[in-house]
Amino acid sequence: MATTRPIAVAGSDQTATIGVPTTFDGTGSYDPEGFTIDTYSWFLLYSPPGSTATLINDNTPYPSIIPDVVGSYRVFLVVTAGGRESEPDPLKAPQESFVHAQVLTANNGWVIPARGQKDWDSYLYDILTEIDANIPYILPPEVVIEDDNVTRLGSGTEDSGKVPIADGVGNVNWGHVGGGGGFEILTFSLTGSTLIEVGDTLTDPSFTATYQGTVDTASVIDDQGGASLDVSATPNAFTYSGVYTKNAYGATVRWTLDADDGLGGSDSATETKVWTQKVYWGVGAAGGGGEAFIKALANSALATSRSRTFTVTAGATDKIYYAYRSGYGDATFAVGGFVGGFFKVSDTISVTNSFGFTENYTLYESDNVDLGTTTVVVS
């Protein structure tokens, strides 16, 4: 029985369309101790006011929802593996356990965050949708907008980042919108892959970020006890000082970026590095097996599951092979839309990576030789 919880990974947020099914993918979920994910349980935590949408196939890796109104649908995933379940409390669960289907507003394309994603209530939802329905609006005749600047004709006044604010008696004053004007971290990304091989060392990771609005202050910190780094001077590209080595499959390091615009608007975002193992695939003579054979296959890639689609060319005496860490469980193969065509050689082949970390691997071999150029789907 597992001693640590599996990790539920609900996939990436999706832009959705009313009346069109949106499908989520939970197959990125994993168990740090290598146990196979046994069950998937999806929960619709929040839907926009007036919605009657429900989750379909909520006990499979691929549930779906058919959005029926504008707004964000917040979905939560719990998985089980090795007799334990991932964090079942949404208030305690990590960010990757949640996913959102987001139907944008009709005119401005605004994303309305779900309750629990940001604490917006039904009242604010009504305000935004009503405002959006009445756009375009008419500015006072003496006001023009040019790119990011606003000018009041005849005054010579031009202030970047300021907007015209009517005073109610026919005059227009100038200032920033209260509450930060919708400041948001749009992207926060680790430079390079978010995957790294077990035993490998990550040194001084670099990041990039983009924002809705202008950054006043920004800082980043890891979840390993590192110090907070002030990146206010270079908020779009910066390097965090740290050396990280993990010797367990599924180990992670997470960094959190906090930023604000100095006007009341603030946001935070996270990025995670995951230590994992390689999968291997390629062609070889019939009867292949053992560590040296697996590591000699022509192709390899870091992965967090056994699932993969690849294309190889098998000659007259060649068979197709695929190998992955045994903790992922048994695989299903499909070629040309037909399931089958492969058999398991072994699931106890000991493979040691270049950093000295050893795990059992499962090796599959195609039933036949001389398959030519073949696309294989592994699930």
* pLDDT tens, position by position, 285-335: 999 999 999 999 999 999 999 999 999 999 999 999 999 999 999 999 999
91, 233, 272 from 196: Cα distances, Å: 29, 29, 11
Query: Is residue 317 one of the residues assigned to a domain?
Result: yes
CB atoms within 10 A of CB 325: 23
Are 109 and 146 within one domain? no
Contact in structure between 282 and 363 (CB atoms under 8 Å): no
Cα–Cα dist 262/183, whole Å:
10
Answer yes or no: do 137 and 48 share one domain. Answer: no
pLDDT at residue 312, as a whole number: 95
Domain presence at residue 318: yes
Considering the domain boundaries, does residue 218 fall inside one? Answer: no
Q: Is residue 239 part of a domain?
A: no
Alpha carbons 48 and 358: distance in angstroms, whole number = 48
Torsion (CA) 291, 293, 299, 303 in degrees, nearest 10:
-20
CA distance 125 to 132: 11
Distances (CA, A) of 236 to 37, 113, 366, 375: 38, 24, 48, 40
Predicted local confidence at residue 144, as pLDDT: 45
Q: Do 106 and 26 share a domain, yes or no?
A: yes
Answer for the pair 357, 247: CB distance below 8 angstroms, yes or no.
yes
Q: Which residue in the block uniquely carries the two structure tokens 């060392």? A: 201
At residue 22, the pLDDT reads: 94
φ and ψ at residue 218, rounded to 5 degrees: -150, 145
Q: What pLDDT shows up at residue 227? A: 94
Residue 77 and residue 168 in one domain: no
What is the span of the domain harbouring residue 320?
A: 276-378
Residue 333's region, left for phi above 0, alpha for psi from -120 to 50, else beta, is: beta
Domain end among 151, 181, 211 = 181
pLDDT at 117: 63
Does residue 354 lie within any of the structural domains? yes
Residues in CB range of 337: below 8 A, 6 or more apart? none
| 35 lies in the same domain as 105 | yes
The pLDDT of residue 105 is: 86
CB 176 within 8 A of CB 263: yes
Q: Kindly state whether residues 282 and 359 are assigned to the same domain.
A: yes
Do residues 295 and 360 both lie within one domain?
yes
5 and 61 assigned to the same domain: yes
C-alpha to C-alpha distance for 305 and 57, rounded to whole angstroms: 21
What's the structural domain count of the chain? 3
Residues 105 and 170 in one domain: no
Say how far apart CA 284 and CA 363 lie, in whole Å.
12
3-state class (DSSP) for residue 122: helix
Under 8 Å between Cβ of 105 and 113: no
CA atoms within 13 A on the CB side of 18: 10
Q: Which residues of the chain have pLDDT under 70?
A: 1-2, 116-182
Same domain for 141 and 59: no
**Listed residue (99, 53, 47) closest to 73, CA to CA:** 47
359 and 327 share a domain?
yes
No. of helices (H) and no. of strands (E), the chain: 2, 31
Boundary residue ending a domain (151, 166, 181): 181
End-of-domain residue from the set 181, 200, 215: 181
- Assess whether 110 and 126 both reside in one domain: no
- Decide: 261 and 181 in contact? Cβ < 8 Å: yes
Does 76 fall in a domain? yes
Please indicate, yes or no, if residue 322 is contained in any of the structural domains: yes
Other beta carbons less than 10 A from residue 177's beta carbon: 14
For residue 243, tell me if it sits in a domain: no
Helix intervals (H) in the chain? 122-133, 291-296
Count Cβ atoms below 10 Å from residue 294 Cβ, excluding itself: 26
